[in-house]
Amino acid sequence: MSDYRIPATRIVRRPENGGTPRRVEADIVVLGAGISGVSAALEAAKLGRKVALVDAGMQLGGQSTGSLLGTFCGFYSNGPQPYRVVYGIVDDMFAHLKREGAFHVRRGRNTFIPLYQEQALVRWIEQAVTAAGIKVVLGANLLDVQRDGGRIGGLALATRFGLVDLRGTGFIDASGDAALTYAAGFACREPEAPIMGTLMFILEGFDEDAAQKLDRWAVQKRLGEAGGRYGLVRRDGFVFAFPGKGQATVNMTHVETPLDPLGYARAQAEGRAQADRVVAFLRGEYPEVFGLARVRQYGLLGIRQTRWIVGRHSLGIDEVRQGIRPDDAVVRCAWPVELHDRAEDVHWEEFGDDHMHYVPFGSMVPEQADNLVAAGRCIDGDPAALSSVRVMGPCIAMGAAAAQALDLAGAGSVRQIDIRALQKRLADNLERCDRD
Ligand SMILES: Cc1cc2nc3c(=O)[nH]c(=O)nc-3n(C[C@H](O)[C@H](O)[C@H](O)COP(=O)(O)OP(=O)(O)OC[C@H]3O[C@@H](n4cnc5c(N)ncnc54)[C@H](O)[C@@H]3O)c2cc1C
């Protein structure tokens, strides 16, 4: 008989009034812990602010870690010798990924596109957020927003472990779907026709050397010709292998992502079914490369553009195409227009070597809001303009801009901050041109 004691138990019952919500206080509250929210939270903490970071998911990083995106887009300018256009958290993040052997830069779309491994990124985010003393609430859904005119006072959250009453001075909507702005009753914008999402997945068991030699445009052509036989909805997309890891990320599905409580699960299952058909296509059409390939991991369904704020300014496609630098520019970016507005393919519009476009601060502030700033894929723009600034590079820069703006506003309004002072704080992201 082994020598052990059965642990004691006690009886518990939910209090009649449901229990008192756990009260949490912060200077800056960030809703959404995707790459925009993480950037905003770390930037605010660096400014000495008390920060709370909230997410409905059970891990940090949002789509950057959960949806297996695999590449960092919008971090560099265009041309033969691209320079970096985003700083802030990027130096530490890249250094960590390099140390972990989880970072590899490739050329594509007239710029640099670094590949990264999600597990290394999620660890960096956790370590950075912990070291910064940020209070993190995971698995937390937004139930209600306390709003008085243009000011938000607090958020009511529900977690599986109980309710949270989160109070703050400044708020950042980094939810991707403008969840905070919408719940606060500010106007939001939705596209009339859906912008497609994608379920990404990671393959293993294929011939890595042979995969490196595959011509991606020839694969696209084959998708167009033979995809129908495999029941594929989308007829473009790509497979990119992380060198030496025996893994490749596949971006070849298109699924609608409705803002509907039952819709997400349905769409995710549809995305996985499409992913399986993509594997059948790769095995069937390229048996010498993918004959033994299998899915190692399905990502969580990736959502591109669903609902976003109505800001003081809606970024337009002509401003993007012409590279207009507005007086209140806070972010720069050279990434193409990448509009997923139909099931069968993607509309790409690449820009020349000297091109740069900008996100104005006015596109990040909901009309009438005093202490709420949006960052990431839910800022205001037309669908095409938004598609060019919602990749991770500009998302990180928007997170930094939102934190700096709320820090400048203090107990006042972001509508009255000195934009020149804000731009001075964001000078790296607007002016610096390091060639890594
Ligand atoms: C399939 C796909 C592939 C992509 N590929 C690339 C790529 O290769 N490179 C690149 O740079 N970009 C890529 N993008 C674009 C990029 O991923 C996103 O636009 C970017 O990550 C958005 O970051 P975010 O922080 O704004 O939003 P998200 O990463 O979506 O984070 C939002 C967070 O808010 C949380 N949230 C939402 N609502 C609530 C709520 N009510 N309560 C609590 N929490 C909530 C969510 O759980 C989520 O974690 C891709 C996008 C998709 C969909």
Asked if 162 and 283 sit in the same domain, the reply is: no
Residue 39's SS3 state is: helix
- One-letter amino acid at 44 equals A
Measuring from atom 16 of ligand 1, which residue has the nearest CA?
391
Q: pLDDT of 112-154, one tens digit each?
A: 999 999 999 999 999 999 999 999 999 999 999 999 999 999 9
Structurally, the chain folds into a number of domains equal to: 2
Q: How many residues does the chain have?
A: 436
Residue 25's SS3 state is: strand
69 C-alpha to ligand 1 centroid (Å) = 10
In a domain, 12, yes or no: no
Nearest to 405 by CA among 395, 396, 416, 394: 416
Boundary of a domain, candidates 241, 275, 298 = 298
Atom of ligand 1 nearest to the CA of 302: 53
In a domain, 75, yes or no: yes
Residue 273's SS3 state is: helix
Asked if 288 and 184 sit in the same domain, the reply is: no
What pLDDT, on a 0 to 100 scale, did the predictor assign at position 190? 98
Nearest to 34 by CA among 76, 85, 69, 7: 69
Asked if 289 and 394 sit in the same domain, the reply is: no
Measuring from atom 35 of ligand 1, which residue has the nearest CA?
32
Two structure tokens written together for 414: 């972001």
Measuring from atom 38 of ligand 1, which residue has the nearest CA?
175
265 C-alpha to ligand 1 centroid (Å) = 17
What pLDDT, on a 0 to 100 scale, did the predictor assign at position 414? 98
Residue 358 near residue 329 (C-beta atoms within 8 A):
yes
Boundary of a domain, candidates 265, 298, 331 = 298
Asked if 170 and 249 sit in the same domain, the reply is: no
Q: Which residues contact 238 (CB under 8 A, 6 or more apart)?
A: 216, 219, 220, 250, 251, 252
Asked if 205 and 257 sit in the same domain, the reply is: yes
Rounded Cα distance between 172 and 402, Å, is: 7
Atom of ligand 1 nearest to the CA of 71: 8
Rounded Cα distance between 206 and 296, Å, is: 11
246 lies in which domain range?
201-298
Asked if 188 and 281 sit in the same domain, the reply is: no
Boundary of a domain, candidates 298, 317, 345 = 298
| C-alpha distances in Å from residue 261, one per residue of 257, 258, 267 | 11, 9, 11
What pLDDT, on a 0 to 100 scale, did the predictor assign at position 61? 98
Pocket of ligand 1 (CB under 6 A): 31-37, 54-57, 62-64, 67, 69-74, 140-142, 174-177, 179, 197-198, 200, 302-304, 376-377, 390-392, 395
1 C-alpha to ligand 1 centroid (Å) = 53
Q: Which of 29, 43, 63, 90 to mutate to test the pocket of ligand 1 (most atoms within 8 A of CB)?
A: 63
Q: Which residues contact 266 (CB under 8 A, 6 or more apart)?
A: none
CATH number of the domain that 379 lies in?
3.50.50.60
DSSP state of 230: G
> For residues 69-90, b (16+ Cβ closer than 10 Å) or e, as one string?
bbbbbbbbbbeeebebbbbbbb
Q: Which of 188, 339, 391 to mutate to test the pocket of ligand 1 (most atoms within 8 A of CB)?
A: 391
- Can you list the residues of the chain whose pLDDT is less than 70? 1
Residues forming a β-bridge with 436: none
What pLDDT, on a 0 to 100 scale, did the predictor assign at position 62? 98
The tally of CA atoms less than 13 A away on the side-chain side of residue 97 is 22
273 C-alpha to ligand 1 centroid (Å) = 22
Q: What are phi and psi of 249, to 5 degrees?
A: -100, 140
